Structure 1
Amino acid sequence: MIRLLMAEDHTLVREGLKQLFAEAGGLTVAGEATDGGQVLELLWRGHFDLLLLDVSMPGLSGEELINCIRTRYPSLPILVLSMHNEPQIVRRTLKAGASGYLTKDCDPDTLLAAIHRLADGGHFIAPELAERVVFDMSAGLSPILHERLTGREQQVLELLVKGHSLKDIASRLVISHKTVSTHKTRLMKKMNMANNAELIRYCVTEGLVG
């Protein structure tokens, strides 16, 4: 029996996955977390064979959370199940220490196959994602500006260009105002932007916002 820790902040997604695993057999959801803090607490308290992780949760999340888990639990397989399919995000997530990556629109059989592959010590990337990552890397192009950002910095960028204040961003991401300000300073420096207007123009040009 594979003991899963499922980290997902959307109740409907968790319930759907639990039903899938119950019907498949051989899997049990031994723990559920809705933010990064709960993930670390449950890992400290219990034993799990695999972490099924959404990288866009409140608080500590994404690459920062994966790095933290890898430092403390280097042998734990981490399967990312995300809404993001951008090659640069997949690459950064795998580089941080994830053992596999799937998008939430994958079919149930692919998810089950990935879980079993990781539980057996392997790795798994959705074929269509692997192809995009390979061809994206082989293009030989210089990294575009937003690829320099961490996952958290990208979250802050997205909310900034949508018009949210630093205080609102802090509340949404469950981090301090000072931390948001630090992320903004770093992302502005990495992207060589002087103000919010330049950020918005860039994001519109790159198709990052509607």
Structure 2
Amino acid sequence: MTKVLVVDDHPIVLQGCRRVIEDIGACDVREAATLVSAYRNFHRLKPDLVIVDLGMQGRSLGGIELIRRLRLDERKFGILVFSMHGDPIVVRRALDAGANGYLLKDSEPGDLREAILKVRSGQTYLAHALALEVAMLGTRKKRDPIDDLTNREIQVLTLLSEGHQYGQIADELEVSYKTVANTCSHIKSKLGVTTLPQLVRLAVKWLGQTENRPEASRVLAGSRRG
């Protein structure tokens, strides 16, 4: 009997996955809508296959940390990521964390069926176009990650590097605390980190001395004058 755990916080996705899984003969399907319940149900069910979304409970890449934790279990089981994140860097991170397959949520139902069957049988699954993008990562010229940030994101990251807390940053930029928190979430997603301490370490590493970053210095100075 194949046991499957589906981890997603969208009821429609859970229902759709359940239908496909039951159609291909899985007899025991469990669902989890939070990271905590996913980890708990994993140990209770001991599934043969875990289907997991990366964005859970407002955490854009929380599913990657879940994959790492599940892989601490020595049992043999498959992990299929079913996500809207199509960035090849994110895909690579999920695979490195221990996923056996990766499928985008805008794929055809038949693709989900194929991915489930392959990962359940111990194979890997990655759509051809996505596999090419991931493979091309190693051939790209390295870019400065700061180049992908907006002016506001640079302002927030620079203030983090100076040791400011969320409330202090909100006062400095004359925005709400929630705006700062949301901005930090976007930055974490862009820079590939999942926790605030990781983000602060990167901020100190890249922007700790803003005189070495003319663009950051200019943007931050402009915000303080405004």
Structure 2 residue runs of 5 or longer lacking an equivalent are: 147-156, 158-168, 170-174, 186-193, 220-226
What corresponds to 1:27 in structure 2? 26
Q: Report if the CA contact (8 A) 1:3-1:28 is conserved.
A: yes
1:8 aligns with 2:23: no
Q: Secondary structure at the match of 1:6?
A: strand
What corresponds to 1:44 in structure 2? 43
Equivalent residues in 2 for 1:188-207 (5 A)?
188-192=203-207, 198=216
State the Cα deviation string for residues 162-194 of structure 1 (Å, max 9, x = none). 972349979xxxxxxxx9642441342354367
Residues 48 and 116 from structure 1, CA distance in 2 versus in 1: closer, same or farther, beyond 3 angstroms?
Answer: same
Residues 46 and 20 from structure 1, CA distance in 2 versus in 1: closer, same or farther, beyond 3 angstroms?
Answer: closer
What corresponds to 1:65 in structure 2? 66
1:17 aligns with 2:9: no
What corresponds to 1:110 in structure 2? 111
Alpha-carbon distance in 2 for matches of 1:51, 1:125: 16
State the Cα deviation string for residues 32-63 of structure 1 (Å, max 9, x = none). 01111111100111231100000111269232
Alpha-carbon distance in 1 for matches of 2:139, 2:205: 23
Q: Report if the CA contact (8 A) 1:5-1:32 is conserved.
A: yes
Residues 125 and 68 from structure 1, CA distance in 2 versus in 1: closer, same or farther, beyond 3 angstroms?
Answer: same
Residues 137 and 15 from structure 1, CA distance in 2 versus in 1: closer, same or farther, beyond 3 angstroms?
Answer: same
Alpha-carbon distance in 2 for matches of 1:167, 1:113: 36
Amino-acid identity (%): 30
Q: Report if the CA contact (8 A) 1:70-1:76 is conserved.
A: no
Residues 21 and 76 from structure 1, CA distance in 2 versus in 1: closer, same or farther, beyond 3 angstroms?
Answer: closer
**Please, what is the CA RMSD of the aligned residues?**
3.4
Shift of 1:20: 3.1
Alpha-carbon distance in 1 for matches of 2:180, 2:52: 28
AA paired with 2:18?
A: K
Shift of 1:127: 1.2
1:186 aligns with 2:195: no
AA paired with 1:189?
A: V
Q: Report if the CA contact (8 A) 1:35-1:61 is conserved.
A: no
Alpha-carbon distance in 1 for matches of 2:205, 2:66: 21
Q: Secondary structure at the match of 1:101?
A: strand
Q: Report if the CA contact (8 A) 1:166-1:181 is conserved.
A: no
Alpha-carbon distance in 2 for matches of 1:125, 1:38: 27
State the Cα deviation string for residues 74-117 of structure 1 (Å, max 9, x = none). 52211000101111111111011111111101111111111111
AA paired with 2:13?
A: V
Q: Secondary structure at the match of 1:72?
A: coil
What corresponds to 1:83 in structure 2? 84
Equivalent residues in 2 for 1:98-137 (5 A)?
98-137=99-138
Q: Secondary structure at the match of 2:179?
A: coil
Q: Which structure has the greater CA radius of gyration?
A: 2
What corresponds to 2:165 in structure 1? none
Q: Report if the CA contact (8 A) 1:145-1:191 is conserved.
A: no
What corresponds to 1:164 in structure 2? 179
Alpha-carbon distance in 2 for matches of 1:127, 1:189: 38
Q: Report if the CA contact (8 A) 2:20-2:113 is conserved.
A: no
Alpha-carbon distance in 2 for matches of 1:69, 1:50: 11
